[in-house]
Structure 1
Amino acid sequence: MTRTVRFHELGGPDVLRLEEVPEPRAKAGEVLIHARAWGLNRADSLFRQGQYGVAPALPSGLGFEVAGVVAAVGEGVTDFHAGQAVSVVPGFDLLSYPMHGESVVAPANFVVAHPKELSFEQAASTWMQYITAYGGLVDLANTRPGDTVVISAASSSVGLAAIQIARREGAKTIALTRTSAKRQRLLDAGADAVVATTEEDVVARILELTDGRGARVLFDPVGGAALAGLISAAATGAFLVVYGVLDFTPATVSVLDLLLKRLTIRGFGVMELALDDPGRLAAAVDHVRKGITDGDLVPVIDQVFPLADFAEAHRRLESNGQVGKIVVSLSPDGPTAG
């Protein structure tokens, strides 16, 4: 037997249970992983609440990110062996492969031997955030030297990854956050400027910081009422990538701005890279791996929780107070190296 996180009804962190289930077996094309750390994502919260766009089949597991040690491989798997430290790149069906358990199976083509520079906690904090940032900023928007990139919800794990990815491409970054409380931490994380959205005129500040031209790339997981401001602050020919929906308020879009500025507004999800063209996902993984090895990409962890406090980790996720990734460590001795 093994333990896994499940929920039997939709709701907040209180609906989560750590339950004993039979240990899964690696079938053909799969890898059995003994988990050492889980990475939490906003998608986990939305899925648990029934707002992710894919309805859970109750009782349901959850979780996209895990790092651990290979326990066994299924038929046809030759790239991995027992005892190898690995992590999982999101790109698979969450209903079929929930990752937040002590023992989990994952499709072998989404398992990677993570860079030796990373601990298990860092490896569980890597792929969702950096692949999402790479996909939006590099794969889609073609961010290049001289660009200004506006990053909403910049203190999230994806937001911080986007700051690092944009800087690696030679762009300047404007980080958006609700209040000035996180301003210095975002500047320390590499942002060139920070705008507090509830304290400042967002459009005016972005235009001021770009000498009136506006930003060429805008990277947003919020949507809702704030989307109109991003469009107003966009440069002619700008690329606006929407990769989430934290505000479910219907967005009002100026069609005139779309026409006159020749804007591209593009919805993006990390699964697109895997489902549309495996080569795009491979390019993303290679880009991130090289950035980690070079030291340009360094996962930022907000807090590591022990397994016993996994529900508290979800509460931290929903507090919006974090700066970086929230991780659950399954090591009885605390955080461990990979």
Structure 2
Amino acid sequence: MTRVVRFHRTGGPDVMQFDDLPVGDPRPGEIRVRVEAIGLNRAEAMFRSGAYLEAPRLPARLGYEASATIEALGDGVKGFASGDPVSVFPAFSMNDYGVYAAKAIVPAYGVMRRPPGASAIEAAAVWMAYLTAWGALIDIGQLSEGDAVVIPAASSSVGLAAIQIANSVGAISIATTRTRAKAAALAVAGAAHVVVTSEQDLVAAVNHATGGRGARLVFDPVGGPQVEQLAQAMSSNGILFIYGALASTSTPFPAIAAMQKALTLRGYTVFEFVRDKERLARASAFIEAGLAGGRLKPVVAKTFTLDEIVKAHVYMESNEQLGKIVVTVPH
């Protein structure tokens, strides 16, 4: 038996509870792991509250991302051995698997070796953030030296990863934040420009930062009415990625700016490419090289223990954090 976090009804953080469940043996293509640290993601809070891309099948598990040690391999799993330190990354549905637990069964296609030299806490803060940013900015957007990218809600772990990735290829990172509270921290985190949207004109600020050209890419997890301004701040033939829906209101299509500038507005999630072995290999090589060279470094905002999972979700929904929230799993 192992302790597993599940929710039997949708709602706020307090719907999560601990259930003692049998772990069992991994089936063909699966791996059983002992979880050491869990990286929290906004998607998990949305899934728990019934507002995610898919509806939960109750009672439902949670958790896309973890550092773990392999305990057992299912038939057909190659390239791993019992005792290997690994990372579980988001490549599956939480209706099928979840890593908010002391031990978990996960699909082999959602496991990779832990980055060399990374602690369990650091490794739990890597993959969702950097894979998500790499897929949009590098793989699809072809971000390169001299390009500008606007990064709304830049204090999230994905936003900070996007800043670092943009900087690593010589692009201009323009972070946005609603209030001044995180502006200085975003500058310290490497943003070339920080726009406080409650105090500054977003379009004017981006035009100033880019010498009037506008940004070729926007990487937005929020949506909502601000998409109109983001489109106006873009250069011709740009791509506006929307990879989240944090806004409480609907997202308009900025038809005039899109037509004037031949813009592409594109929905995006990390799941587009993580089951594509070739693209995943390119992503992991880029990320591991960046980690080894110091160009990429995950920012951990705060750690909790698994017993404090409700507190961890309350903190995540407070929006106070800068970077990744990690939950450790004592054994």
The TM-score with structure 2 as length reference comes to 0.97
Aligned residue in 2 for 1:106: 106
Aligned residue in 2 for 1:328: 327
Distance 2:270 2:253 in 1: 24
Aligned residue in 2 for 1:138: 138
For residues 82-126 of structure 1, give each alpha carbon's deviation from its aligned partner in whole angstroms, at most 9, with x where no partner exists: 111101121112211112111111111221111122111111111
**Equivalent residues of 1:24, 1:104 under 8 A apart:** no
Distance 1:178 1:260 in 2: 27
Aligned residue in 2 for 1:336: none
Matches within 5 A, 1:123-162: 123-162=123-162
**Equivalent residues of 1:237, 1:263 under 8 A apart:** yes
SS of structure 2 residue aligned to 1:138: helix
SS of structure 1 residue aligned to 2:327: strand
Matches within 5 A, 1:1-338: 1-275=1-275, 277-331=276-330
Distance 2:49 2:316 in 1: 13
SS of structure 2 residue aligned to 1:206: helix
SS of structure 1 residue aligned to 2:61: coil
SS of structure 2 residue aligned to 1:328: strand
**Equivalent residues of 1:24, 1:103 under 8 A apart:** no
Distance 2:250 2:115 in 1: 41
Report the alpha carbon displacement of residue 48 of structure 1 after superposing the two structures with TM. Answer: 0.4
Distance 1:295 1:331 in 2: 29
For residues 245-286 of structure 1, give each alpha carbon's deviation from its aligned partner in whole angstroms, at most 9, with x where no partner exists: 1014122333221111011111110111034x3321221122
Distance 1:258 1:116 in 2: 43
Report the alpha carbon displacement of residue 331 of structure 1 after superposing the two structures with TM. Answer: 2.6
Distance 1:285 1:138 in 2: 12
What is the CA RMSD across the aligned residues, in angstroms?
Answer: 1.1
Aligned residue in 2 for 1:335: none
Distance 1:173 1:251 in 2: 24
Distance 1:139 1:116 in 2: 24
For structure 2, the residue ranges without an aligned partner over 5 or more in a row are: none
SS of structure 2 residue aligned to 1:10: coil
The TM-score with structure 1 as length reference comes to 0.95
**Equivalent residues of 1:207, 1:214 under 8 A apart:** yes
For structure 1, the residue ranges without an aligned partner over 5 or more in a row are: 333-338
Matched to 1:188, the amino acid is V
* 15-24 vs 130-139, which moves further: 15-24
Distance 2:218 2:292 in 1: 27
**Runs of 4+ deviating beyond 4 Å:** none
**Equivalent residues of 2:23, 2:105 under 8 A apart:** no
For residues 145-203 of structure 1, give each alpha carbon's deviation from its aligned partner in whole angstroms, at most 9, with x where no partner exists: 00111101000000000001111111011100111111111111110111111121111
* 151-160 vs 85-94, which moves further: 85-94
Report the alpha carbon displacement of residue 26 of structure 1 after superposing the two structures with TM. Answer: 1.0
Matched to 1:212, the amino acid is G
